[in-house]
A = this chain, B = another copy of it.
Amino acid sequence: MTARLLDGPTVAAAIRQAAQPEIAAFTAARGRPPGLAIVLVGDDPASEIYVGSKMKSGAEAGLRVDLERLPATASIEALLALVARLNASDAHDGILVQAPLPQAMGRHAAQRVFDAIDPAKDVDGFHPHNAGLLVQGRPHLVPCTPAGVMVMLDHYGIPLAGSRAVVIGRSDIVGKPMAMLLLRRDATVTICHSKTPDLAATAASADILVAALGRPGFVTREFVKPGATVVDVGINRVTDRALAQSLFEPGSPRLAGFEKRGSVVVGDVHPAVAAVAGALTPVPGGVGPLTVAMLMQNTVTAAKTRAGI
């Protein structure tokens, strides 16, 4: 184990602390705190946990956070009507619709709903207008996970300008905005994906390697140049014993935890990478806490911009 661990909770606390005076000043000036509406459709257990975490974090920071629930049987029209009402609400500066939506809403439901959110309140940064501002180098509301990764890299003084960055994964939510953020900071950026030939060799050219593909432990030692900074965006629940045994050493606490609970959460990066990388975000405790902190920061940004502050 040589890699320096990049600690998510530490950076998340720094983000929250930096936002405190902004939140206090906004609340004093406007007579109300920045307001966030979270929309939860149905009762997916994982979504309940994510939403609970976002509400707690927002409330602790001094935001107004309102949870709007719709039943799993709600129509997309009902959801769009709720979004329209929140778009028009002066007290709500940010709107977040928790994904995934029930399958019964149809294949493109999430996209339709994200497109319907006022870009000025789009604290997830999923609206095409905000995606376009980011690609054009003038970011306003940026997807929370890649935005949080940038804060973490800066917090630990990882040099970006002139570096080589490789992003594995090209989602709209992580991979592509991550690439644009790194490019904007003068990294030379390569975007890899399932069709990339010789992925390990390409990844091993990176000074900064971001894994966001959603496959447990996929990024092994051969993917990593010695000393590189490795950012693990994956959050995968492993329930297969053979897989767990291939990831964790016999007798390790993580494997013992798996034996006890029957599952273990691992990232896209194999734990053995810690012996090669120069710096590494652990899972859990790496990127995850940053996402929630940046949601709060985006709500403050949206509130200030809407108020012309």
A→B interface (CB under 8 Å): 127-137, 161-162, 164, 170, 172, 176, 179-180, 183, 186, 188-193, 195-197, 202
A136 near B196: Cβ-Cβ < 8 Å: no
- Note all chain B residues with C-beta closer than 8 A to A176: 135-136, 180, 183
Main secondary structure of the interface of A (DSSP, over half): mixed
Which of A127, A189, A193, A197 has the most CB atoms of chain B within a 10 A radius of its CB? A189
Number of copies: 2
A189 near B186: Cβ-Cβ < 8 Å: no
A134 to B188, CA, bound (A): 21
* A188 contact from B136, B186, B195, Cβ within 8 A: B195
CB distance from A211 to the nearest CB of B (A): 15
Q: Which residue of B lies closest to A126 (CB)?
A: B136
- Note all chain B residues with C-beta closer than 8 A to A191: 179, 183, 188-190
A188 near B193: Cβ-Cβ < 8 Å: yes
- Note all chain B residues with C-beta closer than 8 A to A186: 193, 195
CB distance from A202 to the nearest CB of B (A): 7
Known: A188-B190, A190-B190. A161 touches B131 (CB 8 A): no
A183 to B170, CA, bound (A): 9
* A136 contact from B133, B172, B179, B197, Cβ within 8 A: B172
Q: Which residue of B lies closest to A185 (CB)?
A: B195
- Note all chain B residues with C-beta closer than 8 A to A132: 127-133, 135
Q: Which residue of B lies closest to A161 (CB)?
A: B195
A232 to B20, CA, bound (A): 50
A180 near B128: Cβ-Cβ < 8 Å: no
